[in-house]
């Protein structure tokens, strides 16, 4: 099974900051890496699919990169609505797996 | 508008059973793989199971194999999760999610809470 490791587990940042979250797979997953945002009491929301494709309706300040085992999610200029928990997910093979999450908090 | 609506959650004792349902609308349900994903208290998201469009292929995470069964009824645009031999650690919000493209989850339901406790 493929293990996904995110870092950091939590992050404090200010509105306007540039933020990067890292996700590492235990083996190569090509570009089968997706990113989700989840706010308390809400369902997860797809942000980025296949490593770097922006889901329709998602602001362009979100971007993704990487391939193989190492991936990043970048938010270019944090907005108040971006404070949430972020998860990476591999869809290379079942059992699909998520990273442990990165909680992004207001500094 | 794509909608996924889960139901069937509740409080159940350890060793008990529960059947979750997810009703889909706004898209061709029979054309998509579908998944269940859960969020346990204080934990991260965990993929539970998925099922192919015609129900001919099913996959599970190891922790639920032999206890949970995923199924679907394309005539009713519905997805199901039969959960047997429930354990405390199965306590979670259970989401159904539509798979698309390279098996990412592009639409999610609002979730249904399952609490396993004596």
Using one digit for the tens of pLDDT, what is the confidence trace for A6-56?
999 999 999 999 999 999 999 999 999 999 999 999 999 999 999 999 999
Is residue A74 within 8 Å of A23, Cβ to Cβ? no
Is residue B98 within 8 Å of B30, Cβ to Cβ? no
Query: Chain A interface residues facing chain B, Cβ-Cβ under 8 Å?
Result: 1, 31-32, 34, 36, 38, 43-46, 49-50, 55, 87, 89, 91, 94-101
Residue A107 is predicted with a pLDDT of 87
Q: Which residues of B touch A54 (CB under 8 A)?
A: none
Using one digit for the tens of pLDDT, what is the confidence trace for A59-73?
999 999 999 999 999
Give CA A99 to chain center in angstroms.
Answer: 9
Pairing verdict, β B45-51 and B34-39: antiparallel
Answer yes or no: is pLDDT of A106 > 90: no
Q: Which residues of B touch A91 (CB under 8 A)?
A: 102-104
Give CA B86 to chain center in angstroms.
Answer: 14
Using one digit for the tens of pLDDT, what is the confidence trace for B5-43?
999 999 999 999 999 999 999 999 999 999 999 999 999
Closest residue, chain A, to B51 (C-alpha): A94
Q: Which two tokens stand for residue B106?
A: 């592009």
Nearest neighbour of B104 by CB, restricted to A34, A95, A101: A34
The dihedral built from the CA positions of residue B88, A46, B61 and B7, taken in this order, carries a sign that is positive
Per-residue confidence band for B47, with pLDDT thresholds at 50, 70 and 90: very high
DSSP helix/strand/coil, A107: coil
Whether residues B47 and A55 touch (CB distance < 8 A) is answered with no
Q: Which residues of B touch A36 (CB under 8 A)?
A: 45, 105
DSSP string, A32-97: -EEEEEE-TTS--EEEEETTTEEPTT--TTEEEEEETTEEEEEESS--GGG-SEEEEEE-SSSSPE
Q: Which residues of A touch B95 (CB under 8 A)?
A: 43-44
Using one digit for the tens of pLDDT, what is the confidence trace for A73-101?
999 999 999 999 999 999 999 999 999 99
Query: Chain B interface residues facing chain A, Cβ-Cβ under 8 Å?
Result: 35, 37, 39, 44-47, 50, 59-62, 95, 101-106, 108-111
Is residue A66 within 8 Å of A6, Cβ to Cβ? no
CB pairs under 8 A, 24+ apart, for B45-53?
B45/A36, B45/A38, B45/A44, B45/A87, B45/A89, B45/A98, B45/A101, B46/A98, B46/B92, B47/A89, B47/A94, B47/A95, B47/A96, B47/A97, B47/A98, B48/B81, B48/B94, B49/B81, B50/A94, B50/A96, B50/B99, B51/B79
């Amino acid at each position: 099974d493929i293990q996904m490791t995110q870092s950091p587990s939590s992050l404090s940042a200010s509105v306007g900051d540039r933020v990067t979250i890292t996700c590492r797979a235990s083996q190569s997953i090509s570009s089968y890496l997706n990113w989700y945002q989840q706010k308390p009491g809400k369902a997860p929301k797809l942000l980025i699919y296949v490593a770097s494709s922006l889901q329709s309706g998602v602001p362009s300040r979100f971007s993704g990169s990487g391939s193989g085992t190492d991936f990043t999610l970048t938010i270019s200029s944090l907005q108040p609505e971006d404070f949430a928990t972020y998860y990476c997910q591999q869809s290379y093979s079942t059992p699909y797996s998520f990273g442990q999450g990165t909680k992004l908090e207001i500094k | 508008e794509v909608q996924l609506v889960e139901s069937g959650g509740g409080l159940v004792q350890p060793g008990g059973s529960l059947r979750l349902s997810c009703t889909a609308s706004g898209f061709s349900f029979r054309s998509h793989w579908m998944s269940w994903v859960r969020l346990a208290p204080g934990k991260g998201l965990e993929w539970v199971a998925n099922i192919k469009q015609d129900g001919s292929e099913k996959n599970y995470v190891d922790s639920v194999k032999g206890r949970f069964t995923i199924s679907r009824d394309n005539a009713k645009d519905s997805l199901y999760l039969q959960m047997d031999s429930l354990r405390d650690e199965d306590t979670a919000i259970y989401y159904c999610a539509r798979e698309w493209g390279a098996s990412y989850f592009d639409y999610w339901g609002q979730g249904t809470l399952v609490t396993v406790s004596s």
